[in-house]
Structure 1
Amino acid sequence: MSRQLLLMALAPLLGLFILGIGNGFLATLITLRLDAAGESPVVIGWVSSAYFIGLALGAMLNDRLLLAIGHIRAYGSFASLVAVTVLLQGLVDAPAAWFVLRLIGGWATVGVFLVIESWLLTAGDAGVRGRLLALYMIALYAAGALGQLLLGAINALGPAAPFMVIGLLASLSVLPMAMIPRITPLVEKAEPLSPLRLITLTPTGVAGSFGSGLAVAAVYTLLPLYLQRVGFGVQGVGQLMAVMVLGAMLLQYPVGRWSDRHDRQLVLIALGGLCALIAAGVLLLPLPPWGLAALLFLLGGGVFSLYPAALSHAADRAPAGALVRMSQGLLLINALGSTLSPPLITPVMTRVGDAGLFWSLGALGVILMAFFAWRRRVRPAPVPVAPFSPATPLSAAGAELAITEEWVQGALEHEHVEDLADVVPDVAVAEPLVGPPPPDAAHIAYYDEAAGEAPAQRPAPEAAT
């Protein structure tokens, strides 16, 4: 990767890191504050789900603003709105008001991600795009882990201090983006496939994306509530959440390499089983704090690796013309799972106690493991052709730009071109070029001397690698 490209990517990555420090502990802070105010788990769940509703709405709508005003001004608008909503939460503590503010904050936050993702994905060609996305993931998770570690110290400064710090960080994140050259990447909008069509094309991808949304939202919003109620203070909760995020950052890439070299369906089955085993361990074993930290480290790695593995599996099965629309549709499925997670799990916690979180995660892991095993028996896996990308779920426009040449080539090798019309009716297949090949074309002319036929074209044998 060239030095010029690194410098070009530095500003958006730095902006993401600054904003991500505050955004990393905001969900934990809101959960702890609502619990301290005596609100029920159901109310906490609905306030938490408002953020994910905003994410889903923003994934569908924010690209219009980006196309209208450009990346830099769009980033400034979204980041400023994040700062305003957080500062207002420090002034007003009514759950209904927090629901509205979290919804607006989610809409603005996914707009920030949209700007940064599309900027990075258009900064370089396909040869470096994967590394840029890896840097994106590292910046996002490192900021989240740092934010969780700072939660206890910042909360000790006063009840309004955490909201003020998050607002300040959101405002400061505009500076790197505002100081870079005003070169606006092009982003083209593409509509996603309908959920019903996605279920027909890739049931495993849909189940993995939806299950990932359920699990990730649960650990982000309800795990702090569980930890506080089992006896950890604010600082301890922040430290354990940081360990969980660290596991997500460090284990995702090894899981990705495993899925690239083996059957992805087996990887998905293993991830579902890992979630179930960790839940059983937390529920049944007398764990010291370091033992709980170890299980949460593994939980973060498993839960956050589920979505990329499911997306890569879906790309293995997708016709080339449907890759963009399929990836965007799976993003919306993931956001739907995140939205429904707190309202579905908090009633379980109300009925069976705080351990209901891990009963729910264990049941989810068993269901996913059984479903993936059934799908593998019904439809065995082909040879993997879509490399696993260790990245967080992207926005709609970001996903469009993240389609790699390997995905397209792999799909073309496993599907006939005629099949594209079934999925993407408006795909136009170009006519083959007619005429002699260029001097450096990978073809050779040959004569069938015995039959006396005219010269024909055939592909040259591939060079040994």
Structure 2
Amino acid sequence: MSRQLLLMALAPLLGLFILAIGNGSLATLTTLRLDSAGYSPQVIGWVSSAYFIGLALGALFNDRLLLAIGHIRAYGSFASLVAVAVLLQGLFADPTAWFVLRLIGGWATVGVFLVIESWLLAAGEARVRGRLLALYMIAMYAAGVVGQLMLGVAQSLGDTAPFMIIGMLAALSVLPMAMIPRVTPLLEKAEPLSPLRLITLTPTGVMGSFGSGLAVAAVYTLLPLYLQGLGYSIDRVGQLMAVVVLGAMLLQYPVGRWSDRHDRQMVLILMGAVCVLISVGILWLPLGGWGLAGLLFLLGGGVFSLYPVAVGHAADRAPAGALVRMSQGLLLINAIGSTLSPSVISPVMAVVGNEGLFWCMGVLGVALVGFFAWRRSVRPAPVPVAPFSPATPLSAVGAELAVTDEWVQGALEHEHVEDLSQAVPDVEVAEPLMGPPRPDEAHIAYYEGDQKHVGTKGAT
């Protein structure tokens, strides 16, 4: 990766890191504040869903604004809206107002993601895009860890202090983008595939993206509620949420590398099975602080890695020229799953208690395992064709250069036969005939002294 490209990517990655510190803790803060105010899990679920509704709407429409005004101004607009929405949350502690503000915040946040992702994809060549996107994901998850750890410290400064700090971080994230050179990479417009077309093309990719949206949204919005129900303080809840995000950051690359070397459908099946086992372990095992932290670490690595593996599987099945449209469509499917998750799982938690979160996670894991296994039986992974190895004898020069041991042995044996025929006179050696022999002639090869003759000898 060139120094110029690294410097060009540094500013958007730094801006994303600053904004994501606050954004990573805002979902947890919203859930905990509504719960401490005495609102039901259904209300908490609907307010949490507003953010993901904004994500889905932004995934459909934000590209138009980006194409109209460019990367830097679009980033400034979206980050400013995030800051305003967060600061207003600190002023109006009302579920209806928070629903609207979280909707606006989700719409603006996905705009920030769109600016950063399109910037990195357009700025780098194909051979370095993987590394750029790896830096992008590391910045996201590292900021999430810092944000969760910051939550307890910010809470100790006052009720409105966390919202003020998150808003200030969103505003400060504009500075790196404003200080970079004015030349920005070009962005090509690409229309997403329709959800029906995506389902027909890659059912496994669609279901994996949808299931990932359900699981990740549940972790972000409802897991803090479960942890608080166990009696943990806000500071401890933030630490355990940081463990979840840390697992996502550290395990995503090994899981992705594993999926590159094996059948992705089988990897998805095993990840769904791990989700089931972790849910059963949290529900049934008597866990202490370290045991729960270990399972949450594995849960973060499995749940947050589900989406990239599903997208990788979809890319393996994608026709030529459809990768960009497919990725946009899967992002929309993922946002729809995230939107439905809190409103579907929170009523279950209201009926059976906070443990309903992991009952739902276990059922989701079983459903994913069953669906992925069925798809693998219907359409198994293609058998890799033996790779073509260029053979040197395919060219005239190569035929002269490629001297094998068999060729050498054959030449030695042929030379040995000729030496014997020359050493023993009058030894008949068959020669090919151009036509049938005449009745009165015997066509033979014979030697007289050192001279070889072909003709008749002793004709009758």
TM-score between both structures, scaled by the size of structure 1: 0.82
The CA distance in 2 between the partners of 1:226 and 1:329, in whole Å, is: 32
Q: Aligned in 2, Cα 1:120/1:324: closer, same or farther, shift over 3 Å?
A: closer
Give the equivalent residue in structure 1 for 2:42.
42
Give the equivalent residue in structure 2 for 1:396.
none
Cα offset for 1:83? 0.4
Cα offset for 1:383? 4.9
Give the equivalent residue in structure 1 for 2:218.
218
1:107 matches 2:107: yes
Cα offset for 1:384? 7.5
Q: Aligned in 2, Cα 1:188/1:384: closer, same or farther, shift over 3 Å?
A: farther
Contact 1:42–1:347 at 8 Å: present in 2 too? yes
Give the equivalent residue in structure 2 for 1:118.
118
Give the equivalent residue in structure 2 for 1:171.
171
Q: Aligned in 2, Cα 1:184/1:152: closer, same or farther, shift over 3 Å?
A: same
Cα offset for 1:201? 1.1
Where 1:231 maps in the other structure, the secondary structure is coil
Give the equivalent residue in structure 2 for 1:235.
235
The CA distance in 1 between the partners of 2:121 and 2:323, in whole Å, is: 16
Q: Aligned in 2, Cα 1:228/1:384: closer, same or farther, shift over 3 Å?
A: farther
Cα offset for 1:217? 0.3
Matched to 2:237, the amino acid is: V
Give the equivalent residue in structure 2 for 1:151.
151
Contact 1:263–1:384 at 8 Å: present in 2 too? no
The CA distance in 2 between the partners of 1:197 and 1:64, in whole Å, is: 23
The CA distance in 1 between the partners of 2:383 and 2:72, in whole Å, is: 42
Where 1:320 maps in the other structure, the secondary structure is coil
* Aligned positions of 1:55-70 closer than 5 A: 55-70=55-70
Give the equivalent residue in structure 2 for 1:379.
379
The CA distance in 2 between the partners of 1:300 and 1:330, in whole Å, is: 21
Give the equivalent residue in structure 1 for 2:27.
27
The CA distance in 1 between the partners of 2:194 and 2:257, in whole Å, is: 30
| Aligned length, in residue pairs | 391
The CA distance in 1 between the partners of 2:265 and 2:212, in whole Å, is: 15
Give the equivalent residue in structure 2 for 1:278.
278
Where 1:321 maps in the other structure, the secondary structure is coil
The CA distance in 1 between the partners of 2:272 and 2:154, in whole Å, is: 36
Matched to 1:256, the amino acid is: G
Matched to 1:281, the amino acid is: G
Contact 1:82–1:170 at 8 Å: present in 2 too? yes
Contact 1:210–1:337 at 8 Å: present in 2 too? yes
Give the equivalent residue in structure 2 for 1:400.
none
The CA distance in 1 between the partners of 2:215 and 2:67, in whole Å, is: 33
Cα offset for 1:445? 9.1
* Aligned positions of 1:7-406 closer than 5 A: 7-383=7-383
Cα offset for 1:184? 2.0
Q: Deviations over 1:265-321 (max 9, x none)?
A: 110000000100000000000000110000000000000111111111111111113
Matched to 2:206, the amino acid is: V
Give the equivalent residue in structure 1 for 2:413.
none
Q: Deviations over 1:74-114 (max 9, x none)?
A: 11111011000000000001100000000000000011111
The CA distance in 1 between the partners of 2:109 and 2:241, in whole Å, is: 20
Contact 1:264–1:384 at 8 Å: present in 2 too? no
Where 1:235 maps in the other structure, the secondary structure is helix
Over the aligned positions, Cα root-mean-square deviation in angstroms equals 1.7
Where 2:321 maps in the other structure, the secondary structure is helix
Range moving further from structure 2, 119-128 or 141-150:
119-128
Residue segments in structure 2 that go unaligned for 5+ positions in a row = 389-393, 397-460
Query: Larger Rg: 1 or 2?
Result: 2
The CA distance in 1 between the partners of 2:361 and 2:200, in whole Å, is: 26
How high is the sequence identity, in percent, across the aligned residues?
A: 81
The CA distance in 1 between the partners of 2:23 and 2:126, in whole Å, is: 30
Cα offset for 1:185? 1.6
Range moving further from structure 2, 284-293 or 193-202:
193-202
The CA distance in 1 between the partners of 2:176 and 2:111, in whole Å, is: 17
The CA distance in 1 between the partners of 2:72 and 2:206, in whole Å, is: 34
Range moving further from structure 2, 212-221 or 184-193:
184-193
Matched to 1:66, the amino acid is: L
TM-score between both structures, scaled by the size of structure 2: 0.83
The CA distance in 2 between the partners of 1:132 and 1:325, in whole Å, is: 20
Matched to 2:31, the amino acid is: T
The CA distance in 1 between the partners of 2:351 and 2:322, in whole Å, is: 43
Matched to 1:19, the amino acid is: L
Where 2:322 maps in the other structure, the secondary structure is helix
Where 2:333 maps in the other structure, the secondary structure is helix
Residue segments in structure 1 that go unaligned for 5+ positions in a row = 386-409, 414-443, 447-465
Q: Deviations over 1:106-150 (max 9, x none)?
A: 000011111111111122211111111011011110000001001
Q: Deviations over 1:307-350 (max 9, x none)?
A: 11111111111111322222211111111000000010001001
Contact 1:316–1:384 at 8 Å: present in 2 too? no
The CA distance in 2 between the partners of 1:183 and 1:27, in whole Å, is: 35
Matched to 1:355, the amino acid is: E
Where 1:232 maps in the other structure, the secondary structure is coil
Range moving further from structure 2, 123-132 or 352-361:
123-132
Matched to 1:323, the amino acid is: L
Range moving further from structure 2, 181-190 or 43-52:
181-190
